[in-house]
Amino acid sequence: MSGSPRSDDIRAAALDLFTRRGYEATTMADIGAAVGIRGPSLYKHVASKQDLLAGLITGAMNDLLALHRAAVATTADPVERLRRATEAHVRYHARHRKEAFVGTRELRSLQEPHRSDVLALRAAYESGFRELVNAGVEAGRFRVASARLTSYAILDLGMGVAVWFREDGEIGEDAVVWEYGELALRIAGAGLPD
Amino acid sequence: MSGSPRSDDIRAAALDLFTRRGYEATTMADIGAAVGIRGPSLYKHVASKQDLLAGLITGAMNDLLALHRAAVATTADPVERLRRATEAHVRYHARHRKEAFVGTRELRSLQEPHRSDVLALRAAYESGFRELVNAGVEAGRFRVASARLTSYAILDLGMGVAVWFREDGEIGEDAVVWEYGELALRIAGAGLPD
DNA sequence: CACGTCGGCTAACGGGTATTAGCCGAACAT
DNA sequence: ATGTTCGGCTAATACCCGTTAGCCGACGTG
């Protein structure tokens, strides 16, 4: 799956720069300098700057979807399913904050047809969460005003994590994951009186 | 406060383009075309592209802070204060989604010293929410694992609204504001058993 | 009517950017 | 030893962009 070690270095450097400065503000010379070579030499390893972005974003989206499916498959209980899906969501956004950050912030810079592909994957991911909420409501375990609004709220929390989470911060990954799993259930109204 | 009608048109066009394409990807010619003139003619009305961005972002941040202070001043009850601050936050992000969107997404493109100024205002805004949470905890009205994490979560919800809210969508502004006010209290653990 | 200001225009400046072309040394295989 | 591939390099191509200079018609004012 992963190419030569040099290509991996380049992808990592591009990810870092795209995260900090943005795709448009990052030059091929910048990426080259980050791995110790000149801009044009990058073309011996990657097809184009746009290709670099597309690889990063689609890779991230596929990873996230795989983790989501795995998390949901571990139980049939509606409450636990939402908790574990949220935990997977938050853990990904904490552990791979750069990928998640670029995946949402630089989606604008992704050209067609890649952008439509990624948007379709995101729509599927979102509707997956909405289904989870709906299943809990139908089972009488959740109380929500709007499943759409509830799922947006939970997903947005994860996006936020990618922004402020720091590996060396005062709050560890496990603590954030646990707490946000709890928050998701509160948001969905689990355990509320009728 | 607001300049000539033409200057207002230009600011509105820039806001729209910065929102849709981003600051870096928007050219002065694009902004000019949106108001029916050529790129260089814009300089009869604005000092620079960077100045346009700075005006939009600092204006938005000041508006948001003013609304926050007004909302908090309406009551002394910790629970209601958090609810109203959240409602003001969410209402602003729904009603002025472009301003809010650009204010966070394009902050990277804002040069010094403006960026530091805005970051300081944002830090003050965030710590204001944290204080609100702490006040509720000390009054025995909230139950949270971490005030920082809780305030981040509530603020992130507002950011999310700026992304997905649509004036003509199926969920109206008042509905989102009300529901998110409730969510904030749930997130803060208001009304939870000891 | 003369004059100045306003707000548009085109042309030009100065710089930057992704990408391609073509060269070259090192490493490695035959 | 020879040839080929790999992965650097510099130079050049073909743009694009923010901004400034300088021109000019319309319009309000004395």
One digit per residue, the tens of pLDDT, for chain B of length 194 reads 567 878 999 999 999 999 999 999 999 999 999 999 999 999 999 999 999 999 999 999 999 999 999 999 999 999 999 999 999 999 999 999 999 999 999 999 999 999 999 999 999 999 999 999 999 999 999 999 999 999 999 999 999 999 999 999 999 999 999 999 999 999 999 987 76
Chain B: residue whose CA lies nearest to A171: B149
Give the model's pLDDT for residue B71: 98
B46: tokens are: 């604005």
Name the burial class of residue A15, with classes exposed (0-12), middle (13-18) and buried (19+) by CB atoms within 10 angstroms of its CB. buried
- Spell out the residues 6+ positions from residue B63 whose beta carbon is closer than 8 angstroms to its own: B92, B96, B99
Q: Sort out which chain A residues have CB atoms less than 8 A from B109's CB and list them.
A: 22, 25
**CA atoms of B158 and B180, how far apart (whole Å):** 8
Cis peptide bond N-terminal to A113, omega within 30: yes
- CB-based burial, A133-154: b 16+ in 10 Å, e otherwise: bbbbbeeebbebebbbbbbbbb
- Record the pTM: 0.95
pLDDT in tens, B48-88: 999 999 999 999 999 999 999 999 999 999 999 999 999 99
Give the model's pLDDT for residue A2: 64
List the beta strands (DSSP E) in chain A. none
In total, the C-beta contacts within 8 angstroms joining chain A to chain B are 77
* Residues of chain A predicted below pLDDT 50: none
pLDDT in tens, A89-102: 999 999 999 999 99
Is there a contact between A163 and A104 (Cβ–Cβ < 8 Å)? no
Give the model's pLDDT for residue B90: 98
- Chain B: closest CA distance from residue A24 (Å): 6
Q: Sort out which chain A residues have CB atoms less than 8 A from B171's CB and list them.
A: 146, 148-149
Give the model's pLDDT for residue B194: 63
Nucleotides of C under 7 A from a protein CB: 6-12, 16-22
pLDDT in tens, A41-70: 999 999 999 999 999 999 999 999 999 999
Give the model's pLDDT for residue A4: 80
**CA atoms of A158 and A148, how far apart (whole Å):** 16
